[in-house]
């Protein structure tokens, strides 16, 4: 094979190592190089067709012997290997803590423009060292303790401060979530005796019989909700929202609006499976991992609501109560469990505790990666009006 023929092949597939076949043929024909010698040089240095033909062409031009050509290839290999080692050394140095230090300092400066987000519950914020930071927050409880209500009230309180909140609601439609918010506001405005339930607000047959004062109360609550509703974004889904869709929505929100949102997932166990062939535990593990990555990549607080298994109905909240709890325990930054006050005591009656109005609820900090754990924060939960009132102190 002539040199010109080899060069023609290389023009078509310059970076394809299969084109070295033509070079090998040329090298064998003209210089007596073996197949093993040229392929060894190519594999050791990642030689492309262009670089090999350049060496061989130069050898022919200089009239080099076979031994001289081998030395030229060997010299090229040594220089390339030395350059590669130096590049790897520089890259490895960048991966050291010293290489990250400037990025660390820049991150502190950038965080000055992204202050901690207050949850709207002062005692909880105090326990969490000021409020919500970038990270994965998991809130779990048995049924009827108001875990969704608590987080939706928190979402409203965050939005009222001017922060965007994206809610992925797999259990309740958008209408129900909004009506619960409006119901809560009627209680805050008029007290329990005059407040309206969520159903009482959306049921037209009731509304038409309300007095003018009652209608004005609802209108006033809706108007107040409207003052921060532009910061609340609700995505509905039953089985069709997974972690990929959550990432896409957060990325789109950040790119278009320029705001980093607080993300709420209600709830983890009914996210669309990442892999339909995987077990429930494997899918939850993957979901928790991806939610953690979303919080890290977008520097956003991600709040994931979780259900408890049956074992959690009779004992105080702990990690064993979380369904498929392994990943939730190790992948989250903060874990909060909700308890009925008095649970675990000898004479505790859960049915009686749930019948109270308000219900006495305690939020226990089971995990806090950057703070203390074990604190129990007392709440009064008014289920009819979707409202949590926080105690001034925790224990």
Domains of the chain: 3-94 (no CATH), 116-394 (3.40.50.300)
End-to-end, the C-alpha distance of the chain in Å comes to: 86
Q: How confident is the model at residue 379 (pLDDT cuts 50, 70, 90)?
A: very high
Which is it for strands 301-307 and 232-236: parallel, antiparallel or unpaired? unpaired
pTM: 0.73
Q: How confident is the model at residue 96 (pLDDT cuts 50, 70, 90)?
A: confident
pLDDT(10) > 50: no
Residue 33: predicted pLDDT: 58
Torsion region of 386: left, alpha or beta (phi above 0 gives left; psi -120 to 50 gives alpha): left
341/81 Cα distance (integer angstroms): 68
Q: What is the dihedral of CA 229, 205, 198, 268, to 10 degrees?
A: -90
Distances from the Cα of 12 to the Cα of 6, 16, 329, angstroms: 10, 9, 55
Nearest to 160 by CA among 250, 253, 229: 229
Residue 14: predicted pLDDT: 43
Vertex 339 angle, CA 118 and 375, to 5°: 55
Contact 320/312 with Cβ under 8 angstroms?
yes
Average pLDDT over residues 344-356: 83
Count other Cβ atoms within 10 Å, centred on residue 168.
23
pLDDT(61) > 50: yes
18/320 Cα distance (integer angstroms): 57
Task: Name which of 97-106, 163-172, 236-245, 249-258 the model is least confident about.
Answer: 97-106
pLDDT(247) > 90: yes
Residue 90: predicted pLDDT: 81
Count other Cβ atoms within 10 Å, centred on residue 257.
11
């Amino acid at each position: 094979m002539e040199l010109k023929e080899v060069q023609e092949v290389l023009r078509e597939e310059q970076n394809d190592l299969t084109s070295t076949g033509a070079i090998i043929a040329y090298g064998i024909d003209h210089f007596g190089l073996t197949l093993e010698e040229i392929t060894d040089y190519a594999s050791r240095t990642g030689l492309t067709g262009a670089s090999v033909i350049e060496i061989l062409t130069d050898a022919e031009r200089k009239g080099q012997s076979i031994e001289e050509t081998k030395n030229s290839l060997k010299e090229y290999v040594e220089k390339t290997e030395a350059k590669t080692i130096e590049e790897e050394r520089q890259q490895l140095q960048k991966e050291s803590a010293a290489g990250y230090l400037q990025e660390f300092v820049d991150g502190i400066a950038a965080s000055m423009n992204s202050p901690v987000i207050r949850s709207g519950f002062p005692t909880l914020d105090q326990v969490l060292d000021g409020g919500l930071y970038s990270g994965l927050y998991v809130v779990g409880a048995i049924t009827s303790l108001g875990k969704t209500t608590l987080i939706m009230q928190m979402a409203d309180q965050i939005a009222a401060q001017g922060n965007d909140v994206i809610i992925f609601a797999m259990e309740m439609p958008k209408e129900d979530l909004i009506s619960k918010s409006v119901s809560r506001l009627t209680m805050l405005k008029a007290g329990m005796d005059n407040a309206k339930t969520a159903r009482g607000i959306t049921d037209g047959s009731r509304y038409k019989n309300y007095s003018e004062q009652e209608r004005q109360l609802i209108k006033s609550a809706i108007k107040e909700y409207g003052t921060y509703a532009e910061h609340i974004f609700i995505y509905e889904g039953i089985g069709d929202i997974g972690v990929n869709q959550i990432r896409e929505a957060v990325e789109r929100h950040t790119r278009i609006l320029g705001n980093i949102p607080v993300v709420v997932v209600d709830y983890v166990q009914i996210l669309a499976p990442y892999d339909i062939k995987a077990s429930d535990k494997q899918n939850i593990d993957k979901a928790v991992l991806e939610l953690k990555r979303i919080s890290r990549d977008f520097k956003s607080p991600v709040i994931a609501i979780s259900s408890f298994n049956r074992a959690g109905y009779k004992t105080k909240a702990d990690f064993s109560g979380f369904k498929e709890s392994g990943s939730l325990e190790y992948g989250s930054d903060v874990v909060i469990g909700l308890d009925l006050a008095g649970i675990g005591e000898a004479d505790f009656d859960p049915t009686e505790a749930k019948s109270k109005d308000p219900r006495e609820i305690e939020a226990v900090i089971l995990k806090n990666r950057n703070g203390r754990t074990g604190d129990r924060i007392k709440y009064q939960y008014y289920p009819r009006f979707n409202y949590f009132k926080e105690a001034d102190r925790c224990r």
